Every structure is written in structure tokens, then in C-alpha cells.
């Protein structure tokens, strides 16, 4: 899905938070899972093992990808043109994580800030960022990130320079996004490991920016 510019603010009474009640999609997931087990297509142990594998995945993989792009302009070009191939080149097999969607990297630059959301449910590149936070899955974030992105960013402590356009990217079952934040000033002599330490899950979603 293409990105959209949102340069206006709206007032809204609900902060970004996790919803208490299960969503329609969570009910659907439970029903499908129970049906698959009942039909003998998968076992509870296999489901548990898959969940545990996802839980072990951390944002460090995505951070290493971003750090490599910061340190190597040619790799940045590679990442922007073919994110799955760039990840594979660093030994991060997306196929092994059963990603059913394409992956696109979007880069922040002066005057241009990217923010990722899944307005339908919680589509998210788990193989690079780990388990999505509760707020990313919440109805509040899913609706407000599109309608009032600047206000949502401000709630995360991210106040953009005047004139910066905010581009909101809506993930779905066919397409996932990872934000490549701008490299902080004063990091010219940093190693890739030191650069990766500055990159967090939230910076790769776009709600915050890296800090030294």
C-alpha cells in the first residue's frame, strides 16, 4: 500500500494504549487455531514452539541491518531497492521466519519522516523487530497514527522540525515496512556495533528517533 502524507493535527481524547478486550481478529485467530488442531493439521506443541521462536527474535537483527546501511552507502542503496535480498545478504533469512509478505525499507531524511502502522490488525516484520508491542496492536494506535500522526509522535516524545512531512505506511498481509532512521550527528567514528546500539524497535517503526 502506498504511503500517505498527513500534515495536519486533530484533537483526540484517547491516548495510545493497549485495548483490554480481545479484538475481532484475535477471536478469529483463536477459532482458526482451534480448528487446525481439531483437524490434526498442527499440534499445540508445534504452535507453542513457533510462538517461542518468535518470542526469541529481537530487534537486534533489524538494528544490525540499519547500522550496516548507515555505515555503507552502497548497502543502503541495496536495502532500499531490495530489502529482502539485503537481509538475506546479512544472513537474515526471511523465509525461515515464514514471512508471507514482501518487505520494504523506507528511509527518513531531512523534511521527510516515516511512520509504520497496520490499520487492519498487527502486520509487522517480526523476523527483524521481534514481537510487536501492545501499543502497536491497539485500536487506538491503529486509528490515530493515520488521523493524527504528529500528535501520536509527540506522545512518544518525538517532535519533528517545522515543515517535516510525515508519511504513514500501512502494513498488510502482502507488504511489511521497516523504517531506516536518520543517522545521528556525531557518530562518524562509531563502529557498526556501536551504531546498532543506537537503533531500537521504536525507531524502526518510526515513533522515535535514535539518540546518542
| Model pLDDT, residue 4 | 42
Burial class (CB in 10 A: 0-12, 13-18, 19+), 43: exposed
Reported as a pLDDT band with limits 50, 70 and 90, residue 51 is low
Radius of gyration of the chain (CA): 18
Instruction: Tell me the DSSP string of 3-23.
Output: -EE-------S--S---SSPP
Q: Where are the alpha helices (DSSP H) in the chain?
A: 24-38, 44-56, 60-71, 73-81, 83-89, 126-129, 134-137, 139-147, 149-155, 192-196, 201-205
pLDDT tens for each residue of 105-163: 999 999 999 999 999 888 999 889 988 999 999 999 999 999 999 999 999 999 999 99
121 is catalytic: yes
Q: Given this model, what pLDDT does residue 1 score?
A: 41
Average pLDDT over residues 93-97: 61
**123 classed as catalytic:** yes
User: Strand, coil or helix: what is 105?
Assistant: strand
Over residues 170-182, the pLDDT tens digits come to 999 889 999 999 9
- Is the model more confident about 69 or about 102? 69
Partnered with residue 176 across adjacent β-strands are: 103
Rounded to 10 degrees, the C-alpha dihedral 97/145/16/106 comes to: 40
Examine the residue annotation and report whether 171 is marked as an active-site residue of this protein: no
Looking at 74, 93, 121, 191, which residue is catalytic? 121
Nearest to 68, CA basis, from 186, 196, 203: 196
pLDDT confidence band for 45 (50 / 70 / 90):
confident
User: Does the pLDDT of residue 6 top 50, yes or no?
Assistant: no
Answer yes or no: 191 catalytic: no
Question: Given 58, 74, 93, 118, which residue is catalytic?
Answer: 118
Q: How confident is the model at residue 57 (pLDDT cuts 50, 70, 90)?
A: low
Where does the pLDDT of residue 36 fall: very low under 50, low under 70, confident under 90, or very high at 90 and above? Answer: confident
Q: Give the Cα separation of 31 and 37 in Å (integer).
A: 10
Catalytic-role residue among 3, 58, 123, 138? 123
Give pLDDT, residue 7.
37
Task: Give the DSSP letter of residue 4.
Answer: E
Q: How confident is the model at residue 14, as a pLDDT?
A: 38
pLDDT reading at 88 higher than 80: yes
Q: Which residues contact 50 (CB under 8 A, 6 or more apart)?
A: none
* pTM of the predicted model as reported, rounded to 2 decimal places: 0.76
Instruction: Please tell me which residue in 81, 122, 138, 143 is annotated as part of the active site.
Output: 122
Amino acid at each position: 500500500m502506498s504511503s500517505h502524507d498527513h500534515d495536519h493535527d486533530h484533537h483526540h481524547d484517547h491516548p495510545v494504549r493497549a485495548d483490554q478486550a480481545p479484538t475481532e481478529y484475535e477471536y478469529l485467530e483463536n477459532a482458526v487455531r482451534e480448528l487446525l488442531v481439531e483437524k490434526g493439521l498442527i499440534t499445540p506443541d508445534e504452535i507453542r514452539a513457533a510462538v517461542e521462536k518468535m518470542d526469541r527474535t529481537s530487534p537486534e537483527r533489524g538494528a544490525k541491518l540499519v547500522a550496516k546501511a548507515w555505515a555503507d552507502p552502497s548497502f543502503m542503496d541495496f536495502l532500499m531497492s531490495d530489502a529482502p535480498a539485503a537481509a538475506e545478504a546479512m544472513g537474515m533469512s526471511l523465509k525461515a521466519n515464514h514471512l508471507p509478505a514482501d518487505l520494504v525499507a523506507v528511509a527518513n531524511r531531512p523534511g521527510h519522516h516515516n511512520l509504520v502502522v497496520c490499520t487492519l490488525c498487527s502486520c509487522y516484520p517480526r523476523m527483524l523487530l521481534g514481537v510487536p508491542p501492545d501499543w502497536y496492536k491497539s485500536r487506538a494506535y491503529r486509528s490515530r497514527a493515520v488521523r493524527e500522526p504528529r500528535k501520536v509522535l509527540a506522545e512518544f516524545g518525538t517532535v519533528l522540525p517545522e515543515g517535516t512531512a510525515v508519511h504513514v505506511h500501512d502494513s498488510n498481509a502482502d507488504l511489511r515496512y521497516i523504517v531506516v532512521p536518520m543517522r545521528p550527528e556525531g557518530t562518524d567514528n562509531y563502529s557498526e556495533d556501536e551504531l546498532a546500539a543506537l537503533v531500537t524497535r521504536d525507531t524502526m517503526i518510526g515513533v522515535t528517533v535514535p539518540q546518542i
